[in-house]
Amino acid sequence: MIKDCLEIFEKQYKKFGDAYILDSYVLGEGTYILVDKMGEIKQVLEVVKTKGEPDRTVEGYNTFCLMDYYSKLINMNKSMDIKKVIHSNNYLSFFVKKESLINGKLTKAIIQDYYYTLGHLEEKYKKPSQSKLLYETTLEKCGLINQEQLKQNEQWIHTHIFDLDKTHNIVMDKRYLKIFFESDEEEFKREGERYFFPNVFNAAEYNVILDESIYGIPSNNLGLNAKKPYLKHKTRKNEVPYLVSTEEVMLQKKFFDYLMNEVCIGHVNLYFSEEEGIKGYLSNELMTFRNSKRQTFTGYYLRIAKGKEVEIQDAESILQYRTELEGFKVSRSISIDYSKIEKGIEYGEIKELKIVMQMVHSRFFNNFMVYFGEPSDKLKSEVIRRSILMSREAFFEWFYKGNTLAIKSLFPKISRELIKNSIKENQMIRAKEQWMLRDAIIDYLYKGEDTMSDKMKPILDRLEEKLKGEEAVLESDAEYFCAVGQVAYYLLSLNKASKKTHALVNPLLNAKDDIQIKSILRRLFVKYNYDITQGGKRFRCLYAMVEGYIPEGKLDEDALLYGYLQDNLLYKRGEKENE
């Protein structure tokens, strides 16, 4: 899977080279200083943390990106400074945390050791034999180091590093201080490769020499050391998971450098395909198509996150993924007065998947949906929190990969519980909107079947007709549970409390069988029958039908909820009453 993505990246990299990475490179927070060849500070750039794309038009930004990219460490375990205080990798740069200057952690001895190591790399890489061979190969490629320039840069650091706050008003905070010595691009690239090539493998002890070529374990997204013996294949002659050549491991390093750039600007959703190349999107974005004629995507998907390195949280092959919808329609099957409130859902035909995603996040999860990590502590509802954790993987599969299999089986139950929770919390408008959105999603997922509202509307109409007569009976379980919802809403509406709440319906929503339902309705009837005036005759008729019916099947929660959320028939006057 990663190999497939790597092949697509390789085509782009061969076309553009390191520019493909540098064009999206993001500088970390800190103070960046460029020292010219005369030893004078030419430019100081202060970089603060920002969201999204940085302003690349700032003078010197792209130049600092290039120098920084070739001067950074692969990881702290591969530091050129044994004390791990200096974090750069070559003599053209000097990276240190300002805290190390403030607390005295950086000393002249550490600086001397750093430059001694850079000037005597043959000592650092003399053992084991795999490291020595890597260094010798690097030496053939990069040539000898410029010892004179190294000494000059070392002397500049010794002379100025501890007084920069006084001589050049450099603020000493907790950010990085990164110093670069002016040189051309090729020299920075050469010195970067002098470091990268011998250190790019996970650990030299796992390297294998075959036909004078070295194969080893890549460092990216793989750790292998004495503390992780379970990663080794003990039954094989070679215990390591897999080996790659030096060419492959360098390409993989470039690939993960590219991924780090993407995640730094917030592009955590990446799509790879032969036709589209590589496209990155923000966490709440769904993919768009460059070619308006092509509205389906087939390729690979990566979800990445930023940690100590790029973390691949999810990876999957995708077939015929669409972000345009056909046949998704939200019907206004329950009336809501929007004269004083704002609509929470869109009605009519919805053609974009991102609109459905936004409505799901807003109506069902109060905008607390997170697909990775824990929901915010600001979310107080345990029902919503539990629903997020249960359903987020299924929603993620649908919204970001086009796979509806998981959400198809899970959504009806999850959404029903969320509607019940809204009713309990007295959020009736939200509950009604949830019902109509739920109806549309279920209809879309189970194409060809009538929506719940389509099935229940004729039943509600028949109930209304029966209320006009003297004697009537219920004819189906669906009709019965719809009537139960209507009776329950009417009885609870008679509550005279100054602050009315639908929390009183909790016992009914939690009922497990018909015996419980009838018992709850009787208690409500006894409690409020003193005030049954408006629609009294119609109520007696409806309540008698409910009491006289024994359902044959299981409790139909959907029909009950529909009856509770719909306009109440007992508040509609009959023709004779109007006369």
Determine the pLDDT at residue 308.
80
DSSP secondary structure string for all residues of 163-178: THHHHS----SSSEEE
Determine the pLDDT at residue 507.
87
Q: In the chain, how long is the greatest CA-to-CA distance?
A: 108
What does the pLDDT look like over 41-73, one tens digit per residue?
999 999 998 887 888 999 999 999 999 999 999
What does residue 118 show for φ and ψ, rounded to 5 degrees? -65, -35
DSSP state of 300: E
Q: Give the model's confidence band at 229: pLDDT under 50 very low, under 70 low, under 90 confident, else very high.
A: low
Contact 242, 220 (CB under 8 A): no
More confident residue, 526 or 207: 526
CA distance 530 to 506: 22
What does the pLDDT look like over 339-359, one tens digit per residue?
889 999 999 999 999 999 999
Q: Give the model's confidence band at 245: pLDDT under 50 very low, under 70 low, under 90 confident, else very high.
A: confident
- Report how far apart, in Å, the C-alpha atoms of 67 and of each of 123, 307, 406, 469, 529 are: 26, 23, 47, 87, 82
Determine the pLDDT at residue 502.
67
Q: Give the model's confidence band at 226: pLDDT under 50 very low, under 70 low, under 90 confident, else very high.
A: low
Non-local (6+) Cβ contacts of 173 within 8 A are: 98
Determine the pLDDT at residue 230.
47
Q: Please name the helix (run of DSSP H) or strand (run of DSSP E) that holds residue 379, with its range, or none.
A: none
Q: Give the model's confidence band at 579: pLDDT under 50 very low, under 70 low, under 90 confident, else very high.
A: very low
Residue matched to tokens 């492959």: 248
Question: What value does the mean pLDDT take over residues 288-299?
Answer: 74
Determine the pLDDT at residue 570.
84
Question: What value does the mean pLDDT take over residues 278-285?
Answer: 92
**Amino acid present at 279:** K
Domain boundaries, the chain: 18-203, 266-321, 329-445, 458-578
Contact 371, 449 (CB under 8 A): no
**pTM for this one?**
0.85
Give yes or no for a cis peptide into 128 (omega within 30° of 0): yes
In this prediction, what percent of the chain has a pLDDT beyond 90?
61
Determine the pLDDT at residue 286.
92
Determine the pLDDT at residue 223.
55
Q: Give the model's confidence band at 290: pLDDT under 50 very low, under 70 low, under 90 confident, else very high.
A: low
Contact 119, 143 (CB under 8 A): no
Strands (E), 339-434: 348-349
Q: Across the strands, what pairs with 12? A: none
What is the CA angle 338-344-350, rounded to 5?
110
DSSP state of 311: E
Residue matched to tokens 């920075």: 188
Q: Give the model's confidence band at 576: pLDDT under 50 very low, under 70 low, under 90 confident, else very high.
A: very low
Q: Across the strands, what pairs with 269? A: 281, 303
In this prediction, what percent of the chain has a pLDDT beyond 70?
91
Strands 30-35 and 176-181: parallel
Give the residue among 24, 44, 19, 42 at the shortest CA–CA distance from 33: 44
The pLDDT of residue 400 is above 70: yes
Determine the pLDDT at residue 201.
84
Contact 404, 358 (CB under 8 A): no
- Report how far apart, in Å, the C-alpha atoms of 175 and of each of 32, 228, 292 are: 11, 33, 45
What does the pLDDT look like over 499-541, one tens digit per residue?
666 667 788 888 888 999 999 999 988 888 777 765 578 888 8
What does the pLDDT look like over 460-492, one tens digit per residue?
999 988 888 766 889 999 999 999 999 999 888
Question: What value does the mean pLDDT take over residues 266-291?
Answer: 88
Contact 213, 163 (CB under 8 A): no
Determine the pLDDT at residue 383.
95
CA distance 495 to 265: 55
Mean pLDDT of the chain: 88
Query: Is the CATH number of domain 458-578 1.20.58?
Result: yes
Question: What value does the mean pLDDT take over residues 296-315?
Answer: 90
The pLDDT of residue 381 is above 60: yes
Strands 41-47 and 93-97: unpaired
What does the pLDDT look like over 147-206, one tens digit per residue?
999 999 999 999 999 999 888 889 999 999 999 999 999 999 999 999 999 888 887 777
The pLDDT of residue 549 is above 50: yes
Q: Across the strands, what pairs with 244? A: 216
CA distance 263 to 266: 5
Q: Please name the helix (run of DSSP H) or strand (run of DSSP E) that holds residue 288, with its range, or none.
A: none
